[in-house]
Structure 1
Protein backbone atom coordinates (compact mmCIF):
# COMPACT_ATOMS: atom_id res chain seq x y z
CA UNK A 1 0.00 0.00 0.00
CA UNK A 2 1.08 3.56 -0.72
CA UNK A 3 0.72 5.13 2.70
CA UNK A 4 1.46 8.67 1.56
CA UNK A 5 -1.13 11.37 2.15
CA UNK A 6 -3.22 9.28 4.52
CA UNK A 7 -5.04 10.38 7.64
CA UNK A 8 -3.21 8.97 10.66
CA UNK A 9 -5.24 7.54 13.54
CA UNK A 10 -3.40 6.81 16.78
CA UNK A 11 -4.26 5.04 20.00
CA UNK A 12 -2.25 3.50 22.80
CA UNK A 13 -3.77 0.16 21.88
CA UNK A 14 -7.03 -1.14 20.46
CA UNK A 15 -9.68 1.27 21.70
CA UNK A 16 -9.09 3.87 19.00
CA UNK A 17 -10.34 1.35 16.48
CA UNK A 18 -13.91 2.08 17.63
CA UNK A 19 -13.35 5.69 16.60
CA UNK A 20 -11.50 4.71 13.44
CA UNK A 21 -14.37 2.43 12.43
CA UNK A 22 -16.83 5.34 12.68
CA UNK A 23 -14.48 7.68 10.79
CA UNK A 24 -13.92 5.18 7.97
CA UNK A 25 -17.66 4.64 7.65
CA UNK A 26 -18.36 8.39 7.58
CA UNK A 27 -15.42 9.25 5.27
CA UNK A 28 -14.64 6.06 3.30
CA UNK A 29 -12.92 7.82 0.41
CA UNK A 30 -9.69 8.69 2.25
CA UNK A 31 -6.57 6.64 2.92
CA UNK A 32 -5.89 5.81 6.57
CA UNK A 33 -3.04 4.54 8.70
CA UNK A 34 -3.90 3.23 12.15
CA UNK A 35 -1.11 2.90 14.68
CA UNK A 36 -1.52 1.19 18.06
CA UNK A 37 1.29 1.57 20.59
CA UNK A 38 0.49 -1.78 22.15
CA UNK A 39 4.04 -2.39 23.38
CA UNK A 40 3.62 0.49 25.85
CA UNK A 41 -0.11 0.23 26.50
CA UNK A 42 -2.06 1.11 28.57
CA UNK A 43 -1.36 4.83 28.93
CA UNK A 44 -4.03 5.49 31.55
CA UNK A 45 -1.88 5.40 34.68
CA UNK A 46 1.29 6.95 33.23
CA UNK A 47 2.42 10.50 34.07
CA UNK A 48 1.72 13.48 31.84
CA UNK A 49 5.37 13.57 30.77
CA UNK A 50 5.49 9.89 29.85
CA UNK A 51 2.23 10.02 27.88
CA UNK A 52 3.45 13.14 26.08
CA UNK A 53 6.70 11.49 24.98
CA UNK A 54 4.99 8.24 23.96
CA UNK A 55 2.33 10.13 22.01
CA UNK A 56 4.86 12.37 20.29
CA UNK A 57 6.86 9.29 19.22
CA UNK A 58 3.79 7.89 17.53
CA UNK A 59 2.67 11.16 15.98
CA UNK A 60 6.11 11.76 14.51
CA UNK A 61 6.17 8.23 13.11
CA UNK A 62 2.84 8.88 11.39
CA UNK A 63 4.23 12.16 10.03
CA UNK A 64 7.17 10.19 8.62
CA UNK A 65 4.69 7.99 6.77
CA UNK A 66 3.37 11.09 5.03
CA UNK A 67 0.28 11.81 7.15
CA UNK A 68 -0.49 15.55 7.11
CA UNK A 69 -3.27 15.02 9.68
CA UNK A 70 -3.25 12.79 12.77
CA UNK A 71 -6.22 12.00 14.99
CA UNK A 72 -5.46 11.07 18.60
CA UNK A 73 -8.22 8.49 19.00
CA UNK A 74 -7.20 8.11 22.64
CA UNK A 75 -8.68 10.08 25.51
CA UNK A 76 -5.58 9.77 27.69
CA UNK A 77 -3.29 11.05 24.91
CA UNK A 78 -5.77 13.81 24.09
CA UNK A 79 -5.90 14.82 27.75
CA UNK A 80 -2.20 14.62 28.57
CA UNK A 81 -0.35 15.32 25.32
CA UNK A 82 -2.44 17.03 22.65
CA UNK A 83 -2.16 20.63 23.81
CA UNK A 84 1.61 20.46 24.30
CA UNK A 85 2.07 18.94 20.83
CA UNK A 86 -0.19 21.55 19.22
CA UNK A 87 1.43 24.50 20.98
CA UNK A 88 5.06 23.49 21.43
CA UNK A 89 5.88 21.08 18.61
CA UNK A 90 3.79 21.70 15.51
CA UNK A 91 4.47 25.45 15.04
CA UNK A 92 8.23 24.93 15.16
CA UNK A 93 8.82 21.49 13.67
CA UNK A 94 5.73 20.67 11.59
CA UNK A 95 3.96 23.91 10.69
CA UNK A 96 1.95 22.29 7.89
CA UNK A 97 0.82 19.26 9.91
CA UNK A 98 -2.17 19.04 12.21
CA UNK A 99 -3.02 16.88 15.22
CA UNK A 100 -6.59 16.66 16.54
CA UNK A 101 -8.02 14.88 19.57
CA UNK A 102 -11.31 13.40 20.77
CA UNK A 103 -12.07 15.51 23.84
CA UNK A 104 -12.91 18.87 22.27
CA UNK A 105 -15.28 17.48 19.59
CA UNK A 106 -17.16 15.60 22.30
CA UNK A 107 -17.28 18.59 24.64
CA UNK A 108 -18.68 20.77 21.86
CA UNK A 109 -21.85 18.70 21.51
CA UNK A 110 -22.38 16.81 24.77
CA UNK A 111 -24.71 19.51 26.07
CA UNK A 112 -27.22 18.56 23.38
CA UNK A 113 -27.80 15.20 25.05
CA UNK A 114 -28.90 16.30 28.52
CA UNK A 115 -32.15 17.81 29.76
CA UNK A 116 -31.27 17.95 33.45
CA UNK A 117 -27.89 19.60 32.89
CA UNK A 118 -26.19 16.80 34.84
CA UNK A 119 -23.67 14.66 32.94
CA UNK A 120 -21.54 11.71 33.96
CA UNK A 121 -18.09 11.15 32.45
CA UNK A 122 -16.51 7.71 32.75
CA UNK A 123 -12.84 7.32 31.86
CA UNK A 124 -9.41 6.06 32.85
CA UNK A 125 -7.68 7.47 35.91
CA UNK A 126 -5.44 9.53 33.64
CA UNK A 127 -8.34 11.14 31.79
CA UNK A 128 -10.32 11.78 34.97
CA UNK A 129 -7.36 13.18 36.90
CA UNK A 130 -6.49 15.53 34.05
CA UNK A 131 -9.94 17.16 34.44
CA UNK A 132 -9.83 17.83 30.70
CA UNK A 133 -13.52 17.08 30.24
CA UNK A 134 -14.48 19.34 33.13
CA UNK A 135 -12.57 22.22 31.56
CA UNK A 136 -13.64 21.64 27.96
CA UNK A 137 -17.32 21.10 28.69
CA UNK A 138 -17.33 24.21 30.88
CA UNK A 139 -16.08 26.27 27.93
CA UNK A 140 -19.08 25.34 25.79
CA UNK A 141 -21.73 24.62 28.43
CA UNK A 142 -20.83 26.44 31.67
CA UNK A 143 -24.28 25.71 33.07
CA UNK A 144 -23.77 21.94 32.92
CA UNK A 145 -22.72 20.00 36.00
CA UNK A 146 -20.16 17.28 35.22
CA UNK A 147 -19.52 14.28 37.49
CA UNK A 148 -16.52 12.05 36.75
CA UNK A 149 -15.88 8.39 37.53
CA UNK A 150 -12.66 6.49 36.88
CA UNK A 151 -13.06 2.87 35.79
CA UNK A 152 -9.64 1.23 36.18
CA UNK A 153 -10.87 -2.31 35.48
CA UNK A 154 -12.78 -1.63 32.27
CA UNK A 155 -9.83 -1.40 29.88
CA UNK A 156 -8.22 -4.65 31.15
CA UNK A 157 -11.57 -6.43 30.80
CA UNK A 158 -11.96 -5.28 27.20
CA UNK A 159 -8.37 -5.88 26.16
CA UNK A 160 -8.47 -9.39 27.59
CA UNK A 161 -11.72 -10.08 25.71
CA UNK A 162 -13.61 -10.51 28.97
CA UNK A 163 -16.05 -7.67 28.37
CA UNK A 164 -18.96 -9.99 27.52
CA UNK A 165 -18.17 -12.57 30.20
CA UNK A 166 -20.34 -12.77 33.35
CA UNK A 167 -17.40 -11.65 35.49
CA UNK A 168 -17.48 -8.21 33.88
CA UNK A 169 -20.94 -7.51 35.29
CA UNK A 170 -19.60 -6.77 38.77
CA UNK A 171 -17.16 -4.09 37.62
CA UNK A 172 -19.64 -2.51 35.22
CA UNK A 173 -22.25 -2.16 37.97
CA UNK A 174 -19.65 -1.05 40.53
CA UNK A 175 -18.51 2.01 38.58
CA UNK A 176 -21.99 2.91 37.30
CA UNK A 177 -23.33 2.82 40.87
CA UNK A 178 -20.42 4.97 42.09
CA UNK A 179 -21.14 7.54 39.39
CA UNK A 180 -24.89 7.70 39.98
CA UNK A 181 -24.36 8.07 43.73
CA UNK A 182 -22.76 11.45 42.99
CA UNK A 183 -25.98 12.86 41.52
CA UNK A 184 -29.32 11.15 40.91
CA UNK A 185 -30.21 13.69 38.19
CA UNK A 186 -27.58 12.48 35.71
CA UNK A 187 -29.33 11.75 32.42
CA UNK A 188 -26.34 11.39 30.08
CA UNK A 189 -23.28 9.20 30.59
CA UNK A 190 -20.32 9.90 28.34
CA UNK A 191 -17.94 7.00 27.75
CA UNK A 192 -14.69 8.95 27.71
CA UNK A 193 -12.52 6.00 26.71
CA UNK A 194 -12.58 4.42 23.29
CA UNK A 195 -12.51 0.93 24.80
CA UNK A 196 -15.78 1.40 26.64
CA UNK A 197 -18.25 1.09 23.71
CA UNK A 198 -17.65 -2.67 23.79
CA UNK A 199 -19.19 -2.64 27.28
CA UNK A 200 -22.36 -0.81 26.18
CA UNK A 201 -24.56 -3.96 26.23
CA UNK A 202 -23.68 -4.52 29.90
CA UNK A 203 -23.83 -0.80 30.73
CA UNK A 204 -27.34 -0.58 29.28
CA UNK A 205 -28.39 -3.44 31.55
CA UNK A 206 -27.41 -1.40 34.59
CA UNK A 207 -28.31 2.24 33.88
CA UNK A 208 -31.94 3.40 34.09
CA UNK A 209 -33.79 3.84 30.80
CA UNK A 210 -33.85 7.59 31.44
CA UNK A 211 -30.06 7.81 30.99
CA UNK A 212 -28.49 8.10 27.56
CA UNK A 213 -25.15 6.33 27.12
CA UNK A 214 -22.96 8.22 24.69
CA UNK A 215 -19.94 6.86 22.79
CA UNK A 216 -17.48 9.02 20.88
CA UNK A 217 -17.08 7.34 17.51
CA UNK A 218 -19.84 9.04 15.56
CA UNK A 219 -19.23 12.38 17.29
CA UNK A 220 -15.55 12.40 16.34
CA UNK A 221 -16.35 11.24 12.80
CA UNK A 222 -18.87 14.06 12.33
CA UNK A 223 -16.37 16.56 13.73
CA UNK A 224 -13.63 15.37 11.35
CA UNK A 225 -15.99 15.61 8.38
CA UNK A 226 -16.78 19.19 9.37
CA UNK A 227 -13.09 19.99 9.88
CA UNK A 228 -12.14 18.75 6.41
CA UNK A 229 -15.00 20.71 4.82
CA UNK A 230 -13.71 23.86 6.53
CA UNK A 231 -10.05 23.21 5.63
CA UNK A 232 -9.72 22.55 1.89
CA UNK A 233 -5.98 23.12 2.20
CA UNK A 234 -5.85 19.89 4.18
CA UNK A 235 -8.12 17.87 1.92
CA UNK A 236 -5.94 18.78 -1.05
CA UNK A 237 -3.06 16.94 0.63
CA UNK A 238 -5.05 13.73 1.13
CA UNK A 239 -5.19 10.91 -1.40
CA UNK A 240 -8.62 9.48 -2.19
CA UNK A 241 -8.06 5.76 -2.65
CA UNK A 242 -10.01 4.18 0.25
CA UNK A 243 -6.97 2.28 1.54
CA UNK A 244 -6.36 1.25 5.14
CA UNK A 245 -3.13 0.10 6.77
CA UNK A 246 -2.66 -1.08 10.35
CA UNK A 247 0.54 -0.96 12.41
CA UNK A 248 1.39 -1.88 15.98
CA UNK A 249 4.42 -1.58 18.21
CA UNK A 250 3.39 -4.91 19.73
CA UNK A 251 3.00 -8.39 18.29
CA UNK A 252 1.01 -8.25 15.01
CA UNK A 253 -0.63 -11.63 15.52
CA UNK A 254 -1.91 -10.68 18.96
CA UNK A 255 -2.94 -7.26 17.68
CA UNK A 256 -4.90 -8.74 14.78
CA UNK A 257 -6.80 -11.13 17.04
CA UNK A 258 -7.92 -8.40 19.43
CA UNK A 259 -8.25 -5.55 16.94
CA UNK A 260 -10.82 -7.36 14.82
CA UNK A 261 -13.18 -7.31 17.82
CA UNK A 262 -12.94 -3.51 18.05
CA UNK A 263 -12.97 -2.82 14.31
CA UNK A 264 -15.62 -5.34 13.38
CA UNK A 265 -13.55 -6.81 10.54
CA UNK A 266 -10.42 -8.88 10.02
CA UNK A 267 -7.17 -6.92 10.27
CA UNK A 268 -3.66 -7.68 9.03
CA UNK A 269 -1.17 -5.43 10.79
CA UNK A 270 2.57 -4.82 10.54
CA UNK A 271 5.08 -4.34 13.34
CA UNK A 272 6.89 -1.05 13.99
CA UNK A 273 9.81 -0.68 16.40
CA UNK A 274 9.70 2.87 17.72
CA UNK A 275 13.00 2.44 19.58
CA UNK A 276 15.05 2.20 16.37
CA UNK A 277 17.20 5.25 15.83
CA UNK A 278 16.72 6.47 19.41
Structure 2
Protein backbone atom coordinates (compact mmCIF):
# COMPACT_ATOMS: atom_id res chain seq x y z
CA UNK A 1 0.00 0.00 0.00
CA UNK A 2 1.49 3.35 -1.05
CA UNK A 3 1.30 6.60 0.94
CA UNK A 4 -1.78 7.93 -0.89
CA UNK A 5 -3.63 4.69 -0.23
CA UNK A 6 -2.68 4.82 3.45
CA UNK A 7 -3.91 8.40 3.77
CA UNK A 8 -7.15 7.55 1.97
CA UNK A 9 -7.71 4.55 4.23
CA UNK A 10 -7.18 6.67 7.32
CA UNK A 11 -9.61 9.31 6.08
CA UNK A 12 -12.26 6.69 5.36
CA UNK A 13 -11.72 5.24 8.83
CA UNK A 14 -12.07 8.69 10.41
CA UNK A 15 -15.22 9.35 8.39
CA UNK A 16 -16.88 6.33 9.97
CA UNK A 17 -16.51 7.68 13.53
CA UNK A 18 -19.65 9.12 15.08
CA UNK A 19 -19.59 12.48 16.84
CA UNK A 20 -21.67 15.44 18.03
CA UNK A 21 -22.69 18.51 16.07
CA UNK A 22 -20.59 21.51 17.04
CA UNK A 23 -22.05 24.99 17.36
CA UNK A 24 -19.59 27.86 17.57
CA UNK A 25 -20.00 31.53 18.36
CA UNK A 26 -17.68 34.31 19.40
CA UNK A 27 -19.85 34.78 22.48
CA UNK A 28 -23.39 34.17 23.65
CA UNK A 29 -25.62 35.04 20.72
CA UNK A 30 -25.17 31.66 19.08
CA UNK A 31 -27.11 30.20 21.98
CA UNK A 32 -30.29 31.43 20.26
CA UNK A 33 -29.34 29.24 17.29
CA UNK A 34 -28.37 26.38 19.60
CA UNK A 35 -31.68 26.64 21.48
CA UNK A 36 -33.78 26.37 18.35
CA UNK A 37 -31.72 23.55 16.82
CA UNK A 38 -31.92 21.46 20.00
CA UNK A 39 -35.64 22.19 20.27
CA UNK A 40 -36.33 20.93 16.76
CA UNK A 41 -33.64 18.22 16.55
CA UNK A 42 -33.29 16.92 20.14
CA UNK A 43 -32.04 13.47 19.17
CA UNK A 44 -28.53 14.62 18.25
CA UNK A 45 -25.57 15.31 20.52
CA UNK A 46 -24.24 18.88 20.60
CA UNK A 47 -21.19 20.78 21.77
CA UNK A 48 -21.45 24.55 22.09
CA UNK A 49 -18.23 26.55 22.13
CA UNK A 50 -18.20 30.27 22.92
CA UNK A 51 -14.94 32.15 22.41
CA UNK A 52 -15.94 34.66 25.07
CA UNK A 53 -12.35 35.53 25.99
CA UNK A 54 -11.77 37.16 22.60
CA UNK A 55 -15.17 38.73 21.95
CA UNK A 56 -16.14 40.92 20.13
CA UNK A 57 -15.17 39.57 16.73
CA UNK A 58 -16.96 42.35 14.86
CA UNK A 59 -14.23 44.94 15.42
CA UNK A 60 -11.41 42.62 14.33
CA UNK A 61 -9.82 42.22 10.91
CA UNK A 62 -10.77 39.48 8.46
CA UNK A 63 -7.47 37.69 9.11
CA UNK A 64 -7.92 37.75 12.88
CA UNK A 65 -11.52 36.53 12.74
CA UNK A 66 -10.48 33.78 10.34
CA UNK A 67 -7.61 32.70 12.59
CA UNK A 68 -9.73 32.67 15.75
CA UNK A 69 -12.60 30.85 14.05
CA UNK A 70 -10.36 28.19 12.50
CA UNK A 71 -8.72 27.58 15.86
CA UNK A 72 -12.10 26.98 17.50
CA UNK A 73 -13.30 24.79 14.62
CA UNK A 74 -10.20 22.63 15.03
CA UNK A 75 -10.95 22.25 18.74
CA UNK A 76 -14.48 21.11 17.94
CA UNK A 77 -13.09 18.65 15.41
CA UNK A 78 -10.73 17.33 18.08
CA UNK A 79 -13.75 16.85 20.35
CA UNK A 80 -15.21 14.57 17.68
CA UNK A 81 -17.59 16.90 15.87
CA UNK A 82 -18.36 15.81 12.33
CA UNK A 83 -20.29 18.96 11.52
CA UNK A 84 -19.72 22.48 12.86
CA UNK A 85 -22.14 25.38 12.52
CA UNK A 86 -20.74 28.90 12.78
CA UNK A 87 -23.64 30.44 14.72
CA UNK A 88 -21.99 33.83 14.38
CA UNK A 89 -22.65 36.28 11.59
CA UNK A 90 -19.17 37.81 11.80
CA UNK A 91 -17.42 34.45 11.61
CA UNK A 92 -19.73 33.39 8.79
CA UNK A 93 -18.94 36.59 6.92
CA UNK A 94 -15.19 36.71 7.47
CA UNK A 95 -14.03 33.11 7.87
CA UNK A 96 -16.47 30.52 6.55
CA UNK A 97 -15.59 30.54 2.86
CA UNK A 98 -11.83 30.27 3.46
CA UNK A 99 -12.31 27.42 5.92
CA UNK A 100 -14.60 25.57 3.52
CA UNK A 101 -12.47 26.02 0.44
CA UNK A 102 -8.91 26.02 1.79
CA UNK A 103 -8.78 24.31 5.15
CA UNK A 104 -11.34 21.50 5.14
CA UNK A 105 -9.77 19.59 2.22
CA UNK A 106 -6.54 19.48 4.23
CA UNK A 107 -8.01 18.93 7.69
CA UNK A 108 -10.62 16.32 6.83
CA UNK A 109 -12.70 16.26 3.63
CA UNK A 110 -15.38 14.22 5.42
CA UNK A 111 -16.24 16.98 7.89
CA UNK A 112 -18.33 20.05 7.18
CA UNK A 113 -18.58 23.64 8.40
CA UNK A 114 -21.75 25.67 7.76
CA UNK A 115 -22.74 29.28 8.49
CA UNK A 116 -25.83 31.37 9.22
CA UNK A 117 -25.75 33.95 6.43
CA UNK A 118 -26.51 31.71 3.47
CA UNK A 119 -29.69 30.15 4.94
CA UNK A 120 -31.05 33.63 5.67
CA UNK A 121 -30.26 35.08 2.26
CA UNK A 122 -31.71 32.04 0.47
CA UNK A 123 -35.23 32.81 1.64
CA UNK A 124 -35.45 36.54 2.29
CA UNK A 125 -36.03 37.48 -1.36
CA UNK A 126 -38.97 35.10 -1.59
CA UNK A 127 -40.66 36.63 1.45
CA UNK A 128 -40.58 40.24 0.30
CA UNK A 129 -43.39 41.49 -1.94
CA UNK A 130 -41.88 44.92 -2.50
CA UNK A 131 -38.32 43.75 -3.16
CA UNK A 132 -37.04 46.06 -0.42
CA UNK A 133 -35.50 44.25 2.57
CA UNK A 134 -33.77 45.48 5.70
CA UNK A 135 -30.82 44.06 7.61
CA UNK A 136 -30.27 44.84 11.28
CA UNK A 137 -26.80 43.75 12.36
CA UNK A 138 -23.59 44.60 14.15
CA UNK A 139 -21.22 47.15 12.68
CA UNK A 140 -18.82 44.40 11.61
CA UNK A 141 -21.47 42.46 9.71
CA UNK A 142 -22.80 45.60 8.03
CA UNK A 143 -19.31 46.69 6.99
CA UNK A 144 -18.57 43.26 5.54
CA UNK A 145 -21.44 43.74 3.06
CA UNK A 146 -21.98 39.97 3.23
CA UNK A 147 -25.76 40.17 3.23
CA UNK A 148 -25.85 42.64 0.38
CA UNK A 149 -23.50 40.47 -1.70
CA UNK A 150 -25.26 37.18 -1.01
CA UNK A 151 -28.79 38.53 -1.49
CA UNK A 152 -27.79 40.19 -4.76
CA UNK A 153 -26.38 36.88 -6.00
CA UNK A 154 -29.64 35.07 -5.36
CA UNK A 155 -32.13 37.91 -5.88
CA UNK A 156 -30.50 40.58 -8.05
CA UNK A 157 -33.77 42.53 -8.23
CA UNK A 158 -33.97 42.94 -4.43
CA UNK A 159 -32.76 46.16 -2.83
CA UNK A 160 -31.00 45.74 0.51
CA UNK A 161 -30.87 48.40 3.23
CA UNK A 162 -28.67 47.95 6.29
CA UNK A 163 -28.53 49.46 9.76
CA UNK A 164 -25.80 48.83 12.32
CA UNK A 165 -27.04 48.62 15.92
CA UNK A 166 -23.94 48.74 18.15
CA UNK A 167 -25.84 49.08 21.45
CA UNK A 168 -28.12 46.10 21.02
CA UNK A 169 -25.62 43.39 21.97
CA UNK A 170 -24.61 45.11 25.25
CA UNK A 171 -28.28 45.56 26.10
CA UNK A 172 -28.87 41.84 25.77
CA UNK A 173 -25.73 40.67 27.53
CA UNK A 174 -26.38 43.01 30.46
CA UNK A 175 -29.95 41.72 30.70
CA UNK A 176 -31.36 45.16 29.90
CA UNK A 177 -33.14 44.12 26.71
CA UNK A 178 -36.58 44.21 28.31
CA UNK A 179 -36.04 47.53 30.08
CA UNK A 180 -37.63 50.84 29.14
CA UNK A 181 -34.14 52.14 28.44
CA UNK A 182 -33.78 49.65 25.60
CA UNK A 183 -36.76 51.19 23.82
CA UNK A 184 -34.82 54.30 22.84
CA UNK A 185 -32.06 52.39 21.04
CA UNK A 186 -34.49 50.00 19.36
CA UNK A 187 -36.72 52.79 18.06
CA UNK A 188 -33.71 54.85 16.98
CA UNK A 189 -32.28 52.17 14.70
CA UNK A 190 -35.64 51.05 13.34
CA UNK A 191 -36.38 54.66 12.41
CA UNK A 192 -33.00 55.01 10.71
CA UNK A 193 -33.49 51.79 8.76
CA UNK A 194 -36.99 52.63 7.57
CA UNK A 195 -35.87 56.15 6.66
CA UNK A 196 -33.73 54.54 3.94
CA UNK A 197 -36.83 53.13 2.23
CA UNK A 198 -40.52 53.34 2.99
CA UNK A 199 -41.05 50.14 0.98
CA UNK A 200 -39.16 47.79 3.30
CA UNK A 201 -41.52 44.93 4.15
CA UNK A 202 -39.09 42.28 5.43
CA UNK A 203 -36.35 42.70 8.02
CA UNK A 204 -33.73 40.12 9.01
CA UNK A 205 -32.25 40.18 12.49
CA UNK A 206 -28.73 39.41 11.32
CA UNK A 207 -27.18 39.06 14.75
CA UNK A 208 -27.88 36.07 16.94
CA UNK A 209 -28.38 38.30 20.01
CA UNK A 210 -31.27 40.17 18.44
CA UNK A 211 -34.01 37.52 18.81
CA UNK A 212 -34.16 38.51 22.49
CA UNK A 213 -35.26 41.94 21.28
CA UNK A 214 -37.71 40.62 18.69
CA UNK A 215 -40.88 41.32 20.68
CA UNK A 216 -39.96 44.96 21.18
CA UNK A 217 -38.79 45.26 17.57
CA UNK A 218 -42.08 43.92 16.25
CA UNK A 219 -44.02 46.19 18.59
CA UNK A 220 -42.31 49.28 17.16
CA UNK A 221 -42.78 48.28 13.52
CA UNK A 222 -45.83 48.53 11.25
CA UNK A 223 -47.80 45.28 11.27
CA UNK A 224 -47.12 44.51 7.60
CA UNK A 225 -43.34 44.23 8.10
CA UNK A 226 -42.07 40.68 8.61
CA UNK A 227 -39.25 40.14 11.11
CA UNK A 228 -36.98 37.14 10.50
CA UNK A 229 -34.97 35.53 13.28
CA UNK A 230 -32.16 33.17 12.34
CA UNK A 231 -32.81 30.32 14.78
CA UNK A 232 -35.72 28.81 12.89
CA UNK A 233 -34.16 29.57 9.50
CA UNK A 234 -30.84 27.90 10.34
CA UNK A 235 -32.57 24.92 11.95
CA UNK A 236 -34.73 24.34 8.87
CA UNK A 237 -31.66 24.66 6.65
CA UNK A 238 -29.73 22.19 8.82
CA UNK A 239 -32.57 19.68 8.66
CA UNK A 240 -32.60 19.89 4.86
CA UNK A 241 -28.81 19.62 4.75
CA UNK A 242 -28.82 16.43 6.84
CA UNK A 243 -31.58 14.95 4.68
CA UNK A 244 -29.53 15.65 1.55
CA UNK A 245 -26.31 14.29 3.10
CA UNK A 246 -27.33 10.97 4.69
CA UNK A 247 -23.73 9.77 5.04
CA UNK A 248 -22.90 12.76 7.23
CA UNK A 249 -26.18 12.48 9.12
CA UNK A 250 -25.37 8.88 9.99
CA UNK A 251 -22.07 9.98 11.50
CA UNK A 252 -23.79 12.42 13.88
CA UNK A 253 -24.16 10.73 17.27
CA UNK A 254 -27.64 10.56 18.75
CA UNK A 255 -27.80 10.34 22.53
CA UNK A 256 -29.56 13.66 23.11
CA UNK A 257 -26.60 15.00 25.09
CA UNK A 258 -25.26 18.57 25.21
CA UNK A 259 -22.03 20.12 26.47
CA UNK A 260 -20.94 23.75 26.78
CA UNK A 261 -17.42 25.16 26.57
CA UNK A 262 -16.17 28.70 26.98
CA UNK A 263 -12.75 30.28 26.63
CA UNK A 264 -13.60 32.71 29.45
CA UNK A 265 -14.88 32.32 33.00
CA UNK A 266 -17.35 29.44 33.32
CA UNK A 267 -19.13 31.31 36.10
CA UNK A 268 -19.75 34.30 33.83
CA UNK A 269 -20.76 32.09 30.92
CA UNK A 270 -23.23 30.07 32.97
CA UNK A 271 -24.83 33.23 34.35
CA UNK A 272 -25.29 34.90 30.97
CA UNK A 273 -26.27 31.69 29.19
CA UNK A 274 -29.44 31.55 31.27
CA UNK A 275 -30.54 34.83 29.61
CA UNK A 276 -30.48 33.12 26.22
CA UNK A 277 -31.59 29.61 27.13
CA UNK A 278 -33.97 30.16 30.01
CA UNK A 279 -32.32 27.43 32.08
CA UNK A 280 -29.04 26.89 33.88
CA UNK A 281 -25.99 25.27 32.28
CA UNK A 282 -22.69 23.95 33.61
CA UNK A 283 -19.95 24.87 31.17
CA UNK A 284 -16.34 23.80 30.99
CA UNK A 285 -13.33 25.99 30.37
CA UNK A 286 -11.33 25.59 27.16
CA UNK A 287 -7.82 27.01 27.14
CA UNK A 288 -6.73 28.31 23.75
- Mark yes or no: TM-score above 0.5: yes
The residue number in structure 2 matching 1:262 is: 276
* Alignment pair present for 1:38 and 2:55: no
The residue number in structure 1 matching 2:87 is: 73
* Alignment pair present for 1:195 and 2:206: no
Task: Summarize the alignment of residues 145-224 of structure 1 with structure 2, pairs less than 5 Å apart.
Answer: 145-224=159-238
* Alignment pair present for 1:20 and 2:41: no
Corresponding residue pairs, total: 271
Equivalents in 1 of 2:250, 2:112: separation in Å? 14
Task: Summarize the alignment of residues 72-151 of structure 1 with structure 2, pairs less than 5 Å apart.
Answer: 72-151=86-165
Deviation at 1:264, TM superposition (A): 2.4
1:74-112 CA-partner distances (Å, limit 9, x unpaired): 001000110111111111222221100000011111123
Equivalents in 1 of 2:174, 2:127: separation in Å? 31
The residue number in structure 1 matching 2:61 is: 47
1:149-185 CA-partner distances (Å, limit 9, x unpaired): 1111111111111111111111111111110010000
Equivalents in 2 of 1:91, 1:44: separation in Å? 27
The residue number in structure 1 matching 2:14 is: none
Secondary structure at the aligned position of 2:36 is classed as helix
| Structure 1 moving runs of 4+ over 3 Å | none
1:169-224 CA-partner distances (Å, limit 9, x unpaired): 11111111110010000011100000000011221221111111110100100000
1:6-61 CA-partner distances (Å, limit 9, x unpaired): 00000011100101111111111100000001111111111111111111111010
Secondary structure at the aligned position of 1:167 is classed as helix
Secondary structure at the aligned position of 1:13 is classed as coil
Deviation at 1:123, TM superposition (A): 0.6
The residue number in structure 1 matching 2:12 is: none
Mark the runs of 5 or more structure 2 residues left unpaired by the alignment: 1-17
Match of 2:257 among 243, 250, 253: 243
Looking at CA atoms only, which structure, 1 or 2, has the larger radius of gyration?
A: 2
Mark the runs of 5 or more structure 1 residues left unpaired by the alignment: none
Aligned Cα root-mean-square deviation (Å): 1.0
